């Protein structure tokens, strides 16, 4: 039986012109996770990651404290949905940048609505696959892991794909993926045990590498 370690990227640049890059804190979060893995003697037979910049930078930061990682297999099916496109699918017109509490709450209220309607097939956000296509991108990565590997595997992705993977393994409805997604934290660790036949959830959204009083302020969601 193997273990799949799913890692959400470190803090990105929410509200900035270019979200798809890690903040300085995001780099520290992932480097600390690499140090935690190194201290526990974790060794990975394979590494998968999405193709977004924040996935690559998260893996690089993690690897800075975890030498000897195999070359990563880039898997575009592990990329996040386009949150702006999701919001635009249910809201016409401009929105304020989410840099105030009110604008932040509005953004996530519309995001929740857009995700639910996308998953139900009621809207199709511009430039995105259907919900079924998005789901297939995630489950394809899970199928690859369980059929091609036996030991420990590292996967670096985003909140949406990881929440989708957990809901799929639990055979939960799409609405569960939304709730899981909106609570997952940056650099959080989720674990699946796997056999050639299936994956089984072990932990979700844990931060063992930040479990220290000096790192309480490192816990972020975006």
For residues 108 and 140, membership in a common domain is answered with no
Other beta carbons within 10 Å of 222: 16
Say if CB 21 and CB 201 are below 8 A apart: no
For residues 38 and 113, membership in a common domain is answered with no
Determine which helix (DSSP H) or strand (DSSP E) holds 208, and give its type and residue range.
none
For residues 21 and 37, membership in a common domain is answered with yes
* Helices and strands (H, E) in the chain, number of each type: 7, 6
On the question of pLDDT at 105 being above 80, the answer is: yes
Query: CB neighbours of 54 closer than 8 A, spacing ≥ 6?
Result: 9, 10, 12, 19, 20, 21, 22, 26, 158
Q: What is the mean pLDDT of residues 166-172?
A: 98
Q: Which has the closest alpha carbon to 116: 68, 63, 55, 177? A: 177
For residues 185 and 140, membership in a common domain is answered with yes
Each residue's pLDDT tens digit, 192-208: 999 999 999 999 999 99
- pLDDT higher at 14 or 134: 134
Other beta carbons within 10 Å of 175: 14
Specify the range with the lowest mean pLDDT, choosing from 88-92, 97-101, 165-169, 200-204: 97-101
On the question of pLDDT at 15 being above 70, the answer is: no
For residues 39 and 92, membership in a common domain is answered with no
For residues 136 and 193, membership in a common domain is answered with yes
For residues 71 and 166, membership in a common domain is answered with yes
96 pLDDT band, cuts 50/70/90, is confident
41 pLDDT band, cuts 50/70/90, is very high
Total domains present in the chain: 2
CA distance 50 to 207: 21
For residues 134 and 116, membership in a common domain is answered with no
Could you tell me the residue range of the domain that residue 93 belongs to?
82-127
Q: Which has the closest alpha carbon to 146: 46, 55, 216? A: 46
On the question of pLDDT at 17 being above 80, the answer is: no
**59, 94, 127 - which closes a domain:** 127
Paired residues of 40 in beta bridges: none
Query: CB neighbours of 4 closer than 8 A, spacing ≥ 6?
Result: 142, 145, 152, 153, 155, 191, 192, 193, 194, 199
84 pLDDT band, cuts 50/70/90, is very high
User: Which residue in the block uniquely carries the two structure tokens 């898997």?
Assistant: 75
Determine which helix (DSSP H) or strand (DSSP E) holds 158, and give its type and residue range.
none
CATH number at residue 59: 3.40.50.1240
For residues 107 and 189, membership in a common domain is answered with no
Spell out the alpha helix ranges (H) of 40-119. 53-63, 83-88, 101-119
Mean pLDDT of the chain: 95
**127, 148, 163 - which closes a domain:** 127
For residues 32 and 121, membership in a common domain is answered with no
For residues 61 and 157, membership in a common domain is answered with yes
Q: What is the mean pLDDT of residues 153-164?
A: 98
């Amino acid at each position: 039986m193997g273990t799949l370690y799913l890692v959400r990227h470190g803090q990105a640049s929410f509200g900035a012109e270019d979200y798809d890059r890690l903040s300085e804190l995001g780099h520290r979060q992932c480097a600390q996770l690499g140090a935690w893995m190194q201290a526990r003697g974790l060794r990975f037979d394979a590494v998968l990651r999405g193709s977004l910049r924040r996935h690559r930078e998260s893996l690089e930061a993690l690897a800075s404290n975890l030498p000897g990682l195999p070359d990563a297999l880039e898997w575009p099916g592990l990329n996040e949905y386009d949150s702006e496109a999701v919001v635009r699918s249910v809201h016409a017109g401009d929105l304020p940048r989410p840099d105030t509490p009110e604008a932040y709450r509005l953004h996530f209220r519309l995001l929740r609505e857009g995700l639910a309607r996308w998953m139900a097939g009621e809207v199709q956000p511009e430039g995105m696959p259907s919900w079924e296509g998005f789901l297939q991108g995630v489950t394809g990565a899970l199928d690859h892991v369980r059929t091609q590997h036996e030991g420990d595997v590292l996967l670096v992705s985003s909140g949406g794909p990881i929440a989708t993977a957990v809901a799929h393994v639990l055979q939960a409805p799409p609405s569960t993926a939304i709730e899981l997604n909106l609570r997952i934290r940056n650099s959080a660790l989720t674990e699946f045990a796997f056999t050639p036949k299936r994956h089984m959830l072990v932990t979700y959204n844990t931060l063992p590498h930040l479990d220290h009083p000096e790192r309480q302020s490192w816990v972020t969601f975006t």
